[in-house]
Structure 1
Amino acid sequence: MNRIRVGIAGFGAIGQSVARSLDAGVVPGLALAAIAVRDPLRHAAATWQGQAPLFTTIDGLEPLCDVVIECAPAAVFGQIARPILGTGKKLVVLSSGALLSHPDLIELARANGGQILVPSGAILGLDALTAAAEGVIHSVTMITRKPVRGLLGAPYLEANNIDLSGITEPTLVFRGTPRDAAVGFPANLNVAVSVSLAGIGPDRTTLEIWADPQLERNTHRVVVDADSASFSMEIQNIPSENPKTGRITAQSVLAVLRKLSGPLRVGT
């Protein structure tokens, strides 16, 4: 049986975790074919359990893969996405915030038979939100609380001269929309954009971001009021090696990949 060739764009904490899992064969029917990095020669000596994937550049990734997982900086999102979607292939997107500044990619996928897949990542309940969106959703509010170290370096904090180094209690640092948060917190709030895309959009969803010096885990709470149901959801994520990203994010990518060829799919 021919296996689906999987490529990974980016080799940070998430990319490495997904690559090692695919190499170990945890998802039947898939093969890790290639990994796009800035300097392919730097990774040539890496060791693998199975057949070593080819390290290549972003421009060399598309011909080698049937599916590509995007887990790179948002600045190269378009460079990764266009060749994949333009040839009718599937793109698993972790930088969902970058979709807001590249709306043409959805039409590119539609025109060429490609598909953009957004994993749940570090959030929960997207299946309930997408189901509710088939009716009328009145409001969606998301409240994110993060350890201070998980927010350091965010452009919004620097632009507004917000210093979190000395805070001793939970501090509200942002209240607005996921569209604005995608610009101000590009490494932190892709989950908020995913929630908005599943529900009522990036301009009608309300988002609060709190810095909490007492927290050890990233916490997201989503409250939804719809004509079909009212519900709230909360998740406390264990950070990965990168404090801005939850460990469950890489696992959600594997779950999406498993649905590509698995005999049973559970959830909307």
Structure 2
Amino acid sequence: MTDAKQAKLRVAIAGLGSIGARVARELDRGIDGMVLTAVAVRDKDKHHAFLDSLRARPVILPLENLWEAADIVVECAPSRNLRATVEPVVRRGKTAIVLSAGALLDHEDLIALAKAHGGRIMVPTGALIGLDAVNAAACGVIHSVRMVTRKPVDGLRGAPFIVENNIAIDGLREPLKLFEGSARQAAKGFPANLNVAVALSLAGIGPDRTMIEIWADPTVERNTHRIEVASDSARFSMGIENIPSENPRTGVITALSVISLLRKQRASLCVGT
């Protein structure tokens, strides 16, 4: 009889974009105690060759049925699909790893639902460093959190805030500040760009007190984040320059953050909170 402690955790992935495909490939290569069992994709034909290249081909299921084949579901599909992906998972007491952190602010009831049914919603560190420090500081009193984000123009095109305010960013020759306000406001105006801001706010003092600046910067080639935190335990600043993936809105390190979180689930040694 198989020891329940040794049974592999089944992992399903919602979306096979730059993040989902990287995570799927790593799971297929082998993460201790994990097995890739299912994926959800919008266009099966588009991903046929990729899935066939895996050593163990996962089944393709609709978003709302991924829970049937998994203990953990990694959500990295478009943010509009957050509820369809996450709700059935946490309702059945399972774990959802959520990349669309910004969309959580529009579906905060999912947190209460997870609590009621013994489910978990986990937001990986993603494109930020230092969330451990922010989490620790939040056990005391955090006075302020401020983040300044600078992105290449290509990574910001089409953002609702830019479109609605008719802001011209093509042909910029110098940095242009697009936005200054709360993380909640930033998530609405830049839903494909500011999941990092929401993750920062959830780790610290919340989306309404976490302040964000967003710049379109033709002088940078990487997504750059600078964070300043003042608390009763420490004052600290952090900076990171993320190498963009094939999707200019997403850094390579985001997928690696998910992989790191998955590895921790069955690791004998975990470093960091």
TM-score over 0.5 for the alignment? yes
Q: Matches of residues 200-239 of structure 1 in structure 2 within 5 Å?
A: 200-239=205-244
TM (normalized to structure 1)? 0.97
Q: Alpha carbons of 1:169 and 1:43: their partners in 2 closer, same or farther (altered >3 Å)?
A: closer
Unaligned runs of at least 5 residues, structure 1: none
Contact 1:44 1:55 in 2 (8 A): no
How far off its partner does 1:28 sit?
1.0
- State which of 136, 139, 145 in structure 1 corresponds to 2:150: 145
Tell me what 1:109 maps to.
114
Q: Secondary structure at the match of 1:261?
A: coil
Q: Deviations over 1:208-259 (max 9, x none)?
A: 0011101100000000000000000000000001000000000000111011
Is the counterpart of residue 33 in structure 1 residue 8 in structure 2?
no
Distance in 2, matches of 1:4 and 1:49, equals 18
How far off its partner does 1:2 sit?
1.7
Give the count of matched residue pairs: 267
Q: Deviations over 1:22-44 (max 9, x none)?
A: 1111x111000000112445544
Tell me what 1:186 maps to.
191
- State which of 136, 143, 160 in structure 1 corresponds to 2:141: 136
Is the counterpart of residue 22 in structure 1 residue 27 in structure 2?
yes
Distance in 2, matches of 1:162 and 1:44, equals 39
Tell me what 1:67 maps to.
72
Contact 1:40 1:57 in 2 (8 A): no
Q: Deviations over 1:88-110 (max 9, x none)?
A: 00000000001100010000000
Tell me what 2:271 maps to.
266
Q: Which amino acid aligns with 1:54?
A: V
Tell me what 2:8 maps to.
3
Contact 1:147 1:213 in 2 (8 A): yes
Distance in 1, matches of 2:84 and 2:242, equals 30
State the percentage of identical aligned residues: 57
Q: Deviations over 1:108-160 (max 9, x none)?
A: 00001001110000011100000000000000000000001110110100000
Poorly superposed stretches of 4+, deviation over 6 Å: none
**C-alpha RMSD of matched pairs (Å):** 1.0
How far off its partner does 1:11 sit?
1.0
Unaligned runs of at least 5 residues, structure 2: 1-5
Q: Secondary structure at the match of 1:209?
A: strand
How far off its partner does 1:50 sit?
2.1
Q: Matches of residues 155-194 of structure 1 in structure 2 within 5 Å?
A: 155-194=160-199
Distance in 1, matches of 2:108 and 2:137, equals 23
Distance in 1, matches of 2:64 and 2:208, equals 33
TM (normalized to structure 2)? 0.96
Q: Alpha carbons of 1:146 and 1:42: their partners in 2 closer, same or farther (altered >3 Å)?
A: closer
Contact 1:138 1:227 in 2 (8 A): yes
